[in-house]
Each structure stands twice: as C-alpha cells, then as structure tokens.
Structure 1
Amino acid sequence: MHSTHLEIFTEIKGIGAASGLFLHRNLLYIIGDNSGNLNEYNIKTKELKKIQILFDKNLNQLDNIAKVQKPDFEALCYHENKLYILGSGSTIKRNLMIEFDLFGKKVVERDLKEVYSKLQEISKIDDKNFNIEGAIFTGDEWLLFNRGNGFDSKNGIFIIRGQDLVNGEQIRFLPIKLPNIDHVESSFTDAVLLGNEIFFISTAEDTKSTYTDGEILGSFIGSLNKKTMELNFTHRISSHQKFEGISVLNQDKGKIEFLLCEDRDTDELKTIIYKLSLSN
C-alpha cells in the first residue's frame, strides 16, 4: 500500500504550458509544448534562463507559439549528459527531436517522421490516436509512451532496441491498461526510470482527440516492472489537475520524492512545480 503527499515546490514566471522536466543537480530543465525554448531554472537561486532550441524562420515568437505551428514538445529524457526533447507526433509539424548537450550547449535537430510512421504501422495506431507524451532512453533502448487519449484509447509503450532512434528497426508495441475515472481511461503523460521501476503519471481527460483538450477528471501515479512490464501499483494523486512531467528529486529508504509540472492549458506564462512524496 502506498501513500502520497502533494505540495507546491516552486512557482516560476516566464514558462507556459509546461510538459516535461528533468532535474540535473540544482538545475531544473523544463520544456513547454508551445515553446521553442528550453528553460533552465536554478532551484537554489531562483534564476531562470532561456535556451533557444527551435530555429524556425517562420515563427515570430518562441513562447506561446500558435497551436497550429507549435512543435508540441511533450517528452524530455536524459542520458549521459544529453537531454532529448521529442515532439508528440500528433500532427505533421510535431515530428522533431532536439538533442541538447548540457556541457557543450550544442543543439542538434533530428527528424522523427520516418520512425514515427514505423511505430504507427507496427502498432496499427492511426494519425488520430498517435501521441507520444513520455520517453526513456537507457543507452541500449528507447521507451516511448503513447498517450491513449484518442478515440481508440491506445495507451502503450513502444520499445525500440539500439541507440539510434531516428533509424529504429527493432520495434515492438506493448499495450498497457490504465485505471479509469467515471469510465474515462487515464492515459500516459510522462514516465521516468528509477532502478528497475518505471514510474509514470497518467491523466483521465474527457476527450476523444489528441488535439482538442477536454475536462480533467484526475491524475494518477503508478509504476511498471521494467523487466516484465507488469503493473505494480497505481494511486490517484489529484481530482482536477493534469500533470505532464515527472522527474526524481530525492530517494530515501521507503520514500521517493518526485517533481511534477502541470499543464493548465492556458496562455499564461506561469507554471507551478509540485513535489510529490511517495511512501511505502
């Protein structure tokens, strides 16, 4: 049996529609789904730095990009001093991956159009149900989490062997059944690997579209066994919030603390970061 405690960790002005985060030492990296900037927030000094990662001459601004143009960066993961920022693939404008070197500060763009097409073909998920919201890179394989908020409710994990995501060949799709609220199945919004456990967050949103938002019914935290992919537990953490990013803050015996970011589906450049404590 698990118990949870949710509290505000910090409020940050200048960031809107937060969709992914990763804590590296004292620096919290945050992406927004409507932004061409990577946000670097120092949790000690409270200083915010914006790093441009999108260089599209057709954009007249890098924050609050219009919905039809936005890159929809929904997944942020880390491996060996690099951040990987992935578009959701839910429209043709959302197939970009950014590699960002934390030390060299180098930005590299990758086109995921072909591999996303392969994922859809293998899983038999069409354009209206494909929506990558979380990613894990272990160095040997990629795990991409499809958010099943389309009409077909296709929650699941794409497992791609090897380091090269762009040219991924060994691909399989594992459907995952998640808990529901009022007959609305929750869907993946992010995940993080800790030891042999995949901790994920999911939200029940009353919509049948990967593009149009709906009423938020609640959110869960849960975990999967990395080797067997069996569900260990789920626990409801909110009745009205949609959390879209998760990162590990601390781990002690019998207790793990996570940081979560919330997408409030507004244009306001302000985000609240929450601390979620999970105890056995």
Structure 2
Amino acid sequence: MNINLTDKITLPGFPSGSGIVHVGDHYYAIGDDAPYLFKLDAAFAVVEKIPLLEVDTFSGTRISKPDKPDFETLEKIGDTELVVFGSGSKSPQRDVFVRILLEDSITVEKYVTTAFYTALKSLPIFAGSELNLEAVAYRNGQIFLFNRKKNLVLQFPYVEVLAYLQGVGDFPIPMATEFTLPAINGVEAGFSGATALEGQAKIIFTASVEDTDNAYDDGEILGSFLGTIDLFDDALGGELHYIQLPGSAGVVKVESITVTAETSPSSAAVVLITDNDRGDSDLFRGVLSW
C-alpha cells in the first residue's frame, strides 16, 4: 500500500473534525463536539451549517466535553442519505443516532440509541471492552460499525438497524469480528474512520494511536494508519492491509476518510480529516493505492 499526499487544507473555526463524506459536488463533515453538519463546496469552504441538535441545547460552535454527543461516525447511504452515530462512550449524552435525508429540502431525524447500545454491550464479544463507536461504513445494504476498544467491527443489515431504532423491529444480532491493528511505542492503534468502495468489495479504514487507557479521555497522539479490509459476499473477509501515514503529514490523528474518485482497480483519490485538538481541523488530499 501507498499514500501520496498532495495538499493540506486547514479549516479555521471548524472544531474537532471527526467525519467527512463526498456527495456529488459537495462534502459533508462533522466534529465530535460540534452541533452542526457542515456542508462544504469543492474548495472546502463552508456553505451551510445544518443543526443536528435542538438550538436551545447548545450555544456557540462547540459543546463541552461532559455534554457533547460525540459525533464520531459519518457515512452516506447512497447519494440521498447520511447517517451519524454518537460514540456511546458516555450514557445518555452520547446515545444518539441522526439520519439526514438529502432531498429537495434537508430533513434531520434523531433517535435515542440507549437500548441499542445496551444490547451491543451485552454481546459476548464486548467482554473486556468499552463501547466507543468511531466509524461507520455502508455497502450493498450492509452497515458496519467500528468500535475502537478491541477493534471490533459489527455488521448489520441497515434496514434492520433502522427498524429497531424506529421501534418497529427486533434487535438485529450482528456478525462481529475482532481485528489486531499495528502499534506505535507499544500502543495499539484503534479504528477512527471508515468508508466503503463502490466499485469493488473493499472497506478503507483509518486508525490512530492515542496514549490513553479508556474510551473517554484524550491522550498524546502518536500517529495514524490507513488500511483496507476485503469483503466476500458482502461480509468481512478478515484480510487486512495497512500503512502508516508518512512523516510528511506530521504526527496527526486521522479521524476519517472519504473517496472522491475510484481512479483504478487498485487506487482511489481520497480526502482525510484530522483533529488537531486545538479547535481547528485539517484536511489532506491524496491518492491511496493498494
């Protein structure tokens, strides 16, 4: 694998970047302590801020850490729908799912996920782990939730997750897979972002190394990785490939990735979003090859 970074863009006043998707001629992005979904143009200028929370529940552009919903996951469902999950690392503040319908006028639906997250934590594979959803990917009707602790990936039919959250279906038992990721200075990386390719059965993921011993507190940033996971019959194949982000990017915490073009069967133009923990966010454009 290789990543050729071509340029870096700083988004001043865009706090704690945590997710980005490319839809048509625009990008949509979230921050883990921001109350908005940001719509960006092709030059990454903010053209619209869409409230994801009731306006009377926050003030300013950042939400305090004890109160934030911790929006860490963003993915597109086709070209007409976006989904955002709160991390679930603190209940009930982070027990939320937001569905954004990109029709003629944007519709925002919000759901409480406490029961869903409680059911996830009761799964045997969560023994010795903590709930901290950091990424989501979607392909062919399947949704993949990435949990940072133990690097778990939970796969569900999306319609069954949505039916359960809407109160019209039973809890869907996921297919669950645990991965081992590379380490820096003895600290294993944790999943931080993901998206699926449309032209081939593959998920691209990001992972970061942060020196902290729990799902709530931040720690020293040690570096980041990019990788791929193959899918077979729309299920995780278990084969994982990765590279460390090159030193030319600096020591950064890559939070997520989106594909702008699948340029060949073995490469894609991508945009990475990073959180510098100083109130701004940085984007990196590049070409990922495998």
Whether TM-score is above 0.5 comes out as yes
Is the aligned partner of 1:12 residue 2:11? yes
**How many angstroms apart in 2 are the aligned matches of 1:259 and 1:200?**
12
Structure 1 counterpart SS, 2:123: helix
CA–CA separation in structure 1 for the residues paired with 2:186 and 2:240:
21
2: CA distance between counterparts of 1:179 and 1:231? 14
1:264 alignment partner AA: N
Matches within 5 A, 1:196-211: 196-211=201-216
2:201 maps to 1:214: no
**Alpha carbons 1:257, 1:275 under 8 Å: kept:** yes
Q: Which residue of 1 aligns with 2:97?
A: 97
Number of residue pairs matched? 271
Question: 1:151 — aligned with what?
Answer: none
Q: Pairwise CA RMSD of aligned residues? A: 2.0
Q: What secondary structure, in the 3-state scheme, does the structure 2 residue paired with 1:49 have?
A: strand
CA contact (8 A) 2:72 2:134 kept: yes
C-alpha distance in 2 between matches for 1:184 and 1:45: 33
The secondary structure found in structure 1 opposite 2:116 is: helix
Identify the residue that residue 245 of structure 1 maps to in structure 2: 256
For structure 1, which runs of at least 5 residues remain unmatched after alignment?
149-153
1:208–1:238 Cα change, 3 Å: farther
TM-score normalised over the length of structure 1: 0.90
CA contact (8 A) 2:141 2:159 kept: yes
Map of 1:256 onto structure 2: 268
Q: For residue 70 of structure 2, what is the aligned residue in structure 1?
A: 72
Task: Pick closer, same or farther for the CA change 1:123–1:131 going to 2, 3 Å.
Answer: farther
- What displacement does 1:40 show? 0.3
Give the Cα separation in 2 of the matches to 1:169 and 1:128.
20
Once residues 43 and 226 of structure 2 are traced to their aligned partners in structure 1, the CA distance between those partners, rounded to angstroms, is: 27
Q: Which runs of 5+ in 2 are unaligned?
A: 165-170
What is the Cα deviation at residue 203 of structure 1? 0.9
Q: Is the 8 A contact 1:248 1:259 kept in 2?
A: yes
C-alpha separation in 1, matches of 2:34 and 2:257: 18
Tell me which of 191, 195, 203 is aligned to 2:194.
Answer: 191
Query: Structure 1 residues 146 and 111, CA, compared in 2 at 3 Å: closer, same or farther?
Result: same
**Deviation (angstroms), 1:114:** 1.0
Alignment of 1:159 with 2:155, yes or no, is: yes
Pick closer, same or farther for the CA change 1:139–1:57 going to 2, 3 Å.
Answer: farther
CA 1:256 to 1:169, structure 2 compared with 1: closer, same or farther past 3 Å?
same
Q: Structure 1 residue 236 and structure 2 residue 244: aligned?
A: yes
Corresponding residue number in structure 2 for 1:116: 117
Aligned to 1:178: 181
Are residues 32 and 45 of structure 1, via their aligned partners in 2, closer, same or farther at CA, if it must alter by over 3 Å? closer
**Residues 1:182 and 1:40: Cα distance change in structure 2 (over 3 Å):** same
Q: Which residue of 2 aligns with 1:143?
A: 144
Distance 1:10 1:50 in 2: 19
- Helix, strand or coil for the counterpart of 2:73? strand
1:9 Cα offset (Å)? 4.3
The answer to whether the Cα contact below 8 Å between 1:90 and 1:127 also exists between their aligned partners in 2 is no
Give the distance between the partners of 2:75 and 2:3, measured in 1 at CA.
Answer: 24
User: What is the CA-CA distance between 1:12 and the residue it aligns to?
Assistant: 2.2
Give me the whole-angstrom Cα distance separating, in 1, the residues matched to 2:174 and 2:263: 35
TM-score after normalising by structure 2: 0.87
* Structure 2 counterpart SS, 1:57: helix
CA distance in 1, matches of 2:43, 2:5: 21
CA apart distance, 1:96: 0.6
CA distance in 2, matches of 1:125, 1:111: 21
Quick check: 2:276–2:282 contact (8 Å CA) kept in 1?
no
In 2, the alpha carbon distance for the partners of 1:45 and 1:276 equals: 15
Q: Which residue identity does 1:13 align to in structure 2?
A: P
